[in-house]
Amino acid sequence: MANYNAVMLLSLIIHASFIISGRSEVDIGVCYGLNGDNLPSPKEIVSLYQKLGIKKMRIFEPYPEVLEALRGSGINLTLGVLNQDIPVLASGEEGAHAWFLSHVQPYVNDVDIMYIGVGNEVVPGQFSESILPAMENLQNVLKSSNLGTKATTVVHAAVLGTSYPPSAGNFSETARPFMSGIIKFLSSQKTPILVNLYPYFPYASDPTHIQLDYALLGSSKPLIQDGSLSYSNLLDAMLDSFYSAMEKEGVSDVDIVISESGWPHDGNGNYTTPKLAATYNHNFIQRVLNGTGTPKRPQAQVEGYLFAMLDEDLKEPGVEQHWGLFNPSMQPNYVLF
- Residues catalogued as catalytic: 121, 260
φ/ψ of residue 198, rounded to 5: -130, 100
In angstroms, the CA 178 to CA 166 distance is 21
Q: Which of 239, 135, 245 is nearest to 182 (CA)?
A: 135
**113 has which bridge partners?**
77
3-state DSSP helix/strand/coil % of the chain, to nearest 5? 40, 15, 40
Closest by Cα among 75, 68, 84, 71 to 49: 75
Could you give the 3-state DSSP secondary structure of residue 193? strand
Concatenated DSSP letters for 15-28?
HHHHHHHT-SS--E
**CB-based contacts of 325: which residues, under 8 Å, 6+ apart?**
10, 30, 281, 306, 308, 309, 310, 332, 333, 336
Q: How far is CA 225 from CA 39, 70, 168, in A?
A: 45, 45, 13
* 29 burial level (CB within 10 Å; 0-12, 13-18, 19+): buried
DSSP 254-309: --EEEEEE---SSSSGGGS-HHHHHHHHHHHHHHHHT----SS-TTPPPEEEES-S
| Contact indicator for 70, 77 with CB cutoff of 8 Å | yes
Concatenated DSSP letters for 199-227? THHHHHH-TTTS-HHHHTT--SS--EEET
